[in-house]
Amino acid sequence: MKIDKNTTLKIAKLCRIKVRDEEIEELSSQLSSILDWVEKLNEVNTDNIEPLNNVSIATLPLRKDKENLQDQSKEVLSNAPEKLENYFAVPKVVE
């Protein structure tokens, strides 16, 4: 199997999603199938082809350096699960 249990756990850690023990096997199997399936791309010769990152026709628009002085703290904190005064509060980071 392309994605074994350890790899699944490693990826899950990277993207901060807890995978329960009961889920690991089915998940690893599904991920493996999907990756096997997308490997079909190896049939295509892509020598000398540039990756296409964006299909937009725009050129990067530039913004003028004018600051918005509005204090949006109330708005920005309005949906916070936990806050104290004007800070977001989270469980402590173990440093």
6 scored as a contact of other proteins (CB under 8 A) = no
13 versus 25: smaller Cβ distance to other proteins: 13
Alpha carbon of residue 36 to chain centroid:
22
Residue 84 phi/psi, 5-degree rounding, is -140, 125
Compute the least distance from the CB of residue 83 to other proteins, in Å. 9
CB neighbour list of residue 24: distance below 8 Å, 6 or more residues apart:
5, 8, 9
Position among 6, 24, 25, 59 found at the interface with other proteins (CB under 8 A): 59
25 versus 73: smaller Cβ distance to other proteins: 73
